[in-house]
Structure 1
Amino acid sequence: MVFLLGWLRWPYALILGLLTLIGWATVSHRRTLNWPSLNRWGWLGITIVACAWVALSGLVSPFFLNADWLVRMSVLRDLTVGDWPVGYGTLDADHQNLLLRLPMGYYLVPALLGKVLGGTEAAGRWMLALWTVLGAFLFLAMTVANSQGEGRWRGLWIPLLLAVGFSGMDVIGGLVHRHGWPPTGAHIEWWAELFQYSSNTTQLFWVPNHSLPGWIAGLLIWRHREQGLSLGASALLMLGVVTWAPLVAIGLAPLLFVCSLRGQTWMGWVREWGRLDVLALLLPGFFMARFITFGVPSEAAGTLAEAGPLGPVVARLVMFSLLEWALLAWVVFRAGERSWVFWLAAAELLLLPLLRFGPGNDIVMRGGIPALTIMMCAAMTLLSQHAPKHRSFQWATWFILAAGAVTPYQEISRVLVEGDRFESQGQNFIQINGTPWHYIGELQGTWLSHVLESPKITLPELNK
């Protein structure tokens, strides 16, 4: 809603905003919220973990902020100090009427609050930190709610440990490829070079704009794996994820499609397309998809076949799959997990590395987040059980998770690394990052120029 009201001409903002509200209200009317039954100490524990986790990411000074945040802070700066829609004018004949064009769901609310609280970059940054804490709190609370464990240990602390520490066994991959034991604070997840499935802590520290919607969507699908989600709820969830992280939405789509089919026949599913909530969300969904994808070059996509000789690439893919998720999935399977969502998540994690898209092959890193969340939930379910027959599988799971925990340890320990901390120079996005296609679009000659307000040029601070 913030995006629609802030970026579109008022007739279009009114129409799409009303349709979105109708869809949201209709879905919300049919659903109830179920929070974990915790005492105040349990809620306090979740709050402390969420605050500490986000603080260690570097969003709160003086901790180290990873290099990718230079891009994100420039986005936040322009959204906070500039007028909407944020534009950069014409640079040359090949770059005319430039617009900040990216999935902005993560940034817009903090930027709006930052405007209200003084319109400074510092205000926007504090609001972004609080917004991220809220998202992390929601993820942790939902993880606890999905746990089947009883008592403080199995019902609270095991879910929280898994949420923060869940990761593939990157350190073993690095050792196998003769990278040696990593120095403290080193980023170790590119050991396979061609693809990466990031740990939860890596995702929060580097890409919370992708991880938070992916985690929450994955948890919702796991929670509703038996009864399913209505098509309206699925459409609303997909619209939200597309607004935040469209590559996550690609990985979410098959899971959400099957989840919307659960508990009904094909004809019942087809009839759901005529419901008010589904019809209301179609046009906003189409618009958001078009806005996010306009100007994306076709050469940005490819397949693994383009990465090099087939034999070494396949060997690396097999090793990558085993260490990042397949060994854990095998243990969980042997312990009795047979749900459709488990099988589909495993299939996605196997197939996603065959695709290539984005500067860092982002389709793998981001598209796999919902499926990895489901693997985490499957492991959590196994660890919450008391049956003696599962004891050996639980020990095997703990071993795999302990090996994976080296990765979040490396990410968290980076706060101790000496070096420069983030300090704004008052520069706008173009000055820092140029015109990368996944952040900047050219409105010239597109129908979106009739729907969006005229872009307002965002300048750097003159005194910097």
Structure 2
Amino acid sequence: MQNYSNFLIKSSYIYIIIPYFIFFFGWLKPLYALIMTVVIVYALLVIFRELTLSGTEDVTASTEDVQSPLQNKKIVLILVILILWAACTGMGGFGYQNGDYHQRNALLKNLIDQPYPVIYAPEYVSNNSIQNIRKDFHGSLALVYYFAFYLLPALFGKFLGWRAANTISFGYGLIGVLIAAAWIFKLAGRLSVRLTLLLVFFSGMDFVGYIILKLKIPAWTEHIEWWAVFWQYSSNTTLLFWVPHQGISAWILTSLLMNEALIRRSNRHVAFITAIGAFWSVWVCVGLLPFMISSILINRKKLGEVFTFQNVIAASLIVLLFALFYMSQIGGIQKMWLWQYINIYEARQSFLLFYLLEFVLLSAVCFDKTRNLWWWTAVVSLMLLPLYRIGVINDFVMRVSIPSLFVIMFYAGNSLINPSCNKLKKVAIFVIIALGALTPTTEIYRSLTRYKITPLRLERVQELASVPNSYNYFGYTDSVFFEYIAKRNKYNK
């Protein structure tokens, strides 16, 4: 079913890239906006034309399977599971909104109310104690963050209001979840309710770690991801409930890259796929880099394919543009090695348990001699990430790990649905995943017990600058980006 496969690939690119066009014409001077738009559109046209000419093998299901009544019932059940999951996340006000939504709601409100580029009046800075501002800076601050997920809802909100923006936010998030699930089915070669449940309930064994270290059973509404204190590898449900923009983009881009490397056996788009994550999440983009390198090594006989327009020109311009944008940030983010912020000997129990319960046990059980470089890239990445810390709550470990965890999840799921897989191995994988599923269960239970079906009232949305640790949303207007590349408004003339 080549048409299905091509449709999924094209939908994924369009989903990820739509916010870029809003950013180009909202933030950049007209000439730069035009150049970036032409470059991205041309790159997409090249990719789509190649798909049409070369075709791509679809291994999802046979035509007969898709048309069978049983398969249709399976599709309906899968859709129900995913819609119910999304309806508990807090996206668009559906379900309980966890702590991070104080910042997300304020961000969306600013993107709706403020002209683009979003630059705050000087009194906004003086009226709110934003931390880490340079002593020699007395100008206006700008919004500098990876807010791709919120731009399309904000655009609708400018014309239709706050409630409409939240509705679009939920719909945009749901579509992203459906695309991510479709990728799992394509890569696995079949539609599967079990794989759908795996997407929802995949997690490390946080519940077990919590009990071992704290010697008590956590409350069912407790957020238990921080059981190891200094590190967190988030469950899929935690990602969707707390940082949907990072989870969704990571799942889709990792799938695109996996499809390019392992199914299409091509290097023609690998850098472009990695680069278009830049506006969705810096951390996800960093997490994709090792897989981009692995993809090139796997298809090293086609090394010349790396030098395409989309890889060299389009990817480079995207990375350069957003590097300059993010370099405007206020800064002051903590960066240090593991041994610089904890006594490793004293923390050895939680450190070793973190490795063991979050991925080592599952990786060991799933291992077989057929595992390729992608598998090893995921395992090695997860081994190395806890050694370095960036951010007050260690965003580096939490978010750079998302692509690697997705790869581990995919291989674990593939083992579960593979008829030739050893039964004892399947039982071990199932037990580990079942114990891990207690984490997303607590997240879902908390949402259900505090469920709301409407967005927070606009007048109750906090000012972004008043939300704790929100300084990483702001940047200086005397930077290269805002001095030479960004459009002017009344606060950065």
TM-score by length of 2: 0.84
Alignment deviations for residues 231-264 of structure 1 (CA, whole Å, 9 cap, x no partner): 4412221222111011111111011121133223
Match of 1:405 in 2: 437
**Aligned counterparts, 1:49-448, within 5 A:** 49-59=81-91, 61=93, 63-90=95-122, 91-92=125-126, 94=137, 96-116=139-159, 118=160, 120-148=161-189, 155-226=191-262, 230-265=266-301, 268-269=302-303, 271-272=304-305, 274-281=307-314, 282-295=316-329, 297=331, 299-333=333-367, 335-387=368-420, 390-418=422-450, 422-425=456-459, 429-433=463-467, 436-448=470-482
- d(CA) in 2 for partners of 1:75 and 1:261? 40
**Cα gap change, 1:165/1:15 in structure 2, threshold over 3 Å: closer, same or farther?**
same
Matched residue pairs, number? 445
Alignment deviations for residues 55-89 of structure 1 (CA, whole Å, 9 cap, x no partner): 11123556311111110011111112322111212
- d(CA) in 2 for partners of 1:222 and 1:273? 16
- d(CA) in 2 for partners of 1:61 and 1:295? 29
SS in 2 for 1:242: coil
- d(CA) in 2 for partners of 1:347 and 1:44? 38
Alignment deviations for residues 268-287 of structure 1 (CA, whole Å, 9 cap, x no partner): 52x44543223331223211
Q: Gaps spanning 5+ residues in structure 1: where?
A: 150-154, 458-464
Counterpart contact for 1:229–1:260, Cα < 8 Å: no
- d(CA) in 1 for partners of 2:204 and 2:139? 44
**Cα gap change, 1:296/1:306 in structure 2, threshold over 3 Å: closer, same or farther?**
farther
SS in 2 for 1:311: coil
- d(CA) in 2 for partners of 1:158 and 1:435? 39
What is the CA RMSD across the aligned residues, in angstroms? 2.4
**Cα gap change, 1:15/1:36 in structure 2, threshold over 3 Å: closer, same or farther?**
same
Q: Give 2:150's aligned amino acid.
A: Y
SS in 2 for 1:401: helix
Match of 2:73 in 1: 41
TM-score by length of 1: 0.89
**Cα gap change, 1:8/1:435 in structure 2, threshold over 3 Å: closer, same or farther?**
farther
Give the Å deviation of 1:21: 1.4
Match of 2:16 in 1: none
- d(CA) in 1 for partners of 2:60 and 2:333? 46
SS in 1 for 2:347: helix
**Cα gap change, 1:310/1:179 in structure 2, threshold over 3 Å: closer, same or farther?**
same
Give the Å deviation of 1:427: 5.0
Counterpart contact for 1:228–1:262, Cα < 8 Å: no
Counterpart contact for 1:332–1:393, Cα < 8 Å: yes
State the identity %: 27
SS in 2 for 1:210: helix
Counterpart contact for 1:78–1:428, Cα < 8 Å: no
Counterpart contact for 1:95–1:442, Cα < 8 Å: no
Give the Å deviation of 1:137: 0.7
Q: Give 2:188's aligned amino acid.
A: S
**Cα gap change, 1:315/1:434 in structure 2, threshold over 3 Å: closer, same or farther?**
closer
Q: Give 2:172's aligned amino acid.
A: W
Give the Å deviation of 1:122: 1.4
Q: Gaps spanning 5+ residues in structure 2: where?
A: 1-20, 127-135
